[in-house]
A and B are shown apart, each in its own frame.
Chain A
Amino acid sequence: MLKIKKNIYRDRYLYLLLAPMIIWVILFKYKPLYGLQIAFKDYSLFKGIAESPWVGLEHFKTFFTGPYFYRTIRNTFLLNLMILAFGFPAPILLALLLNEIKNLKYKSFVQTATYLPHFISSVIVAGIVINFLSPSTGVINIIIERLGFERIYFLIKPELFRGIFVGMGIWQEAGFKSIVFLAALAGIDQQLYEAARIDGASRFKQALHVTIPGLLPTIMIMFIIQIGNLVTLSFEKIILLYNPATYETADVLGSYVYRVGLVDAQYDLAAAVGLFETLVAFVLVVGANKLSKHLTKNSLW
Chain B
Amino acid sequence: MKKSKGELIFSIVNKLVLGIIALVTLYPFVYVLSASISNGEAVAAGQVLLLPKNINFSAYGKVMEFRGLWVAYGNTIFYAVVGTATCMFFSVTGAYALSKHRLMGRKFFTIMVTLTMWFKAGTVPEFLNFRSLGLYNTRAVPIIGFAIVAFNVIILKTYFESVPESLEESASIDGANDLRILASIYLPLSKAGLATVALFYAISKWNGFFWSMILLRDENKVPLQVLLRKMIIEMNATSEFSDAVEMARLGYSVETVVYATIIISIIPMVVVYPFVQKYFTKGTMVGAVKG
Identify the A interface with B (CB < 8 A). 4, 7-8, 11, 13-18, 20-22, 24-25, 27-29, 31-33, 35-36, 38, 49, 94, 97-98, 100-101, 103, 106, 109-117, 119-124, 126-128, 130-132, 136-137, 139, 142-143, 145-146, 171, 175-176, 179-180, 183, 202-204, 228, 232, 236, 240, 254, 257-258, 261-262, 267, 270-271, 274-275, 277-278, 285
Pairwise interchain contact A262-B214, C-beta atoms closer than 8 A: yes
**Does the CB pair A110–B19 fall under 8 Å?**
yes
On whether the beta carbons of A127 and B94 are closer than 8 Å, the reply is no
* B7 with A203: CB separation less than 8 A: yes
With a cutoff of 8 Å between Cβ atoms, the chain A residues found around residue B233 in the complex are: 123, 126-127, 130, 240
**Counting CB contacts under 8 A, is B162 at the interface?**
no
Please, which residues of chain B bring their CB within 8 A of the CB of A175? 25
Instruction: Verify A228–B118 contact, CB threshold 8 A.
Output: yes
Interchain residue pairs A-B with the least CB separation, the first 9: A21-B94, A274-B122, A32-B121, A121-B207, A127-B232, A142-B46, A18-B97, A13-B178, A35-B125
Q: Which of A29, A98, A100, A143 has the most CB of B within 10 A?
A: A29
A38-B128, A179-B285, A183-B285 are contacts. A121–B225 as well, Cβ < 8 Å?
A: yes
Assembly CA distance A277 to B25 (angstroms): 33
Q: List 24 A-B contacts (CB under 8 A).
A: A7-B102, A8-B104, A14-B97, A20-B94, A21-B148, A25-B112, A38-B128, A106-B15, A111-B277, A113-B23, A114-B21, A116-B29, A116-B270, A122-B209, A124-B266, A131-B259, A137-B43, A171-B28, A176-B284, A183-B289, A254-B123, A257-B122, A261-B124, A271-B125
Say yes or no for B246: interface residue by CB 8 A criterion.
no
Closest chain B CB from A1 CB (angstroms): 13
Known contacts A121-B206, A143-B49; 18 additional CB pairs below 8 A are A11-B102, A13-B177, A13-B178, A14-B96, A15-B103, A20-B93, A21-B113, A21-B148, A36-B122, A38-B128, A121-B207, A121-B228, A128-B28, A139-B49, A203-B7, A258-B123, A261-B123, A274-B125
Instruction: For the complex, give the distance between the alpha carbons of A4 and B104 in Å.
Output: 8
Given contacts A24-B147, A270-B124, A274-B123, contact A139 B285 (CB under 8 A): no
What 0/1 readout, one digit per residue, does chain B (8-39) give for beta carbons within 8 Å of chain A?
00110011011101110110110110010000
Compute how far the CA of A241 lies from the CA of B173 in the bound complex, rounded to whole angstroms. 60
Residues of A within 8 A of B144 (CB): 24
**Chain B interface SS verdict (over half):** helix
Q: Which residues of chain A have C-beta atoms less than 8 A from B133's C-beta?
A: 27
Which residues of A have CB within 8 Å of B209? Answer: 121-123, 236
Instruction: Determine whether the beta carbon of A257 is less than 8 Å from that of B124.
Output: yes
Q: Is the interface of A mostly helix, strand, loop or mixed?
A: helix
Complex contact B96–A17 (CB within 8 A): yes
Number of interface residues, chain B, beta carbon within 8 A:
95
CA distance A58 to B22 in the complex (A): 52
B residues in contact with A127, CB < 8 Å: 228-229, 232-233, 258, 262
How many whole Å from B181's CB to the nearest CB in chain A?
Answer: 9
Within 8 Å CB of A112, what residues of B? 274, 277
Residues of B within 8 A of A (CB): 4, 6-7, 10-11, 14-15, 17-19, 21-23, 25-26, 28-29, 31-32, 35, 43-44, 46, 48-49, 89-91, 93-98, 100, 102-104, 109, 112-113, 116, 118-129, 132-133, 144-145, 147-148, 153, 177-179, 182, 203, 206-210, 214, 225, 228-229, 232-233, 253, 255, 258-259, 262, 265-266, 269-270, 273-274, 277, 280-281, 284-285, 288-289
B288 touches A14 (CB 8 A): no
Are A119 and B232 neighbours in the complex by a CB distance under 8 Å?
no
